[in-house]
Amino acid sequence: MSVKFVLFDAFGTLVRIPKASHPYRQILKEGIRQGRRPRPEDLHHIMARPLSLSDAAEYFGIKVPAELMDEIHGALETELSRIEAYEDGLRAVERLQAEGVKIAIASNLAAPYAAPVRRLYPTVDAFGFSFAVGALKPQPLLYRATCELLGAEITDNGGEKNVLMIGDSEKCDRDGPMGVGIQGFLLNRNGGKDFTSLDEFADSALDTL
């Protein structure tokens, strides 16, 4: 196997939020205060549609007072400005691309969080964001759409696995990709399988070239 394409998860893998304020959750909490009960599909709607905070409030039928909305918007902007890249993520992407491997980021996230990811990883070849694709990991569509953007061909029954993926979720970044013919790996920064750093992952991927 010769690796030609690598998909990375974003949050917890390539980037981190030092202190999360969960602004969309604050919108839903205001809904609870108004008598709206949270629904299991709320998170899916937030991440599978290009919804701003105001759009989300309108979509869920939650009337957020202007002063509170300004406060939540401020918290979001602060949170976005604090997002930072993992150093091993920057190194891994640079090393892989230097050897001709094409890189994509496949991530479940709400629309405002895309800009910091793009800013921190400007050389990435493709971005498969859930809000743009209309599907969330581990739904097969997210992986397939990202590979299409990247120009990578995959088959559900495997074959030559020249597409890899890594992230910090067993369900979304290891098991889900395997269901569509992508070799998935778990990043466990606290120790354990499959890799404890993206430096280790890059070493392993480059060994196949």
The pLDDT tens digits of the residues spanning 42-97 come to 999 999 999 999 999 999 999 999 999 999 999 999 999 999 999 999 999 999 99
**Residue 2's pLDDT is what?**
83
What DSSP character marks residue 111?
G
**Residue 193's pLDDT is what?**
87
Residues of the chain with pLDDT under 70: 1, 156-160
Residues forming a β-bridge with 84: 16
* Cβ count near 80 (within 10 Å): 16
174 Cβ neighbours under 8 A, 6+ residues apart: 165, 167, 184, 185, 186, 194
Residue 121 and residue 83 in contact, taking contact as beta carbons nearer than 8 Å = no
**Residue 154's pLDDT is what?**
84
Residues forming a β-bridge with 5: 102, 163
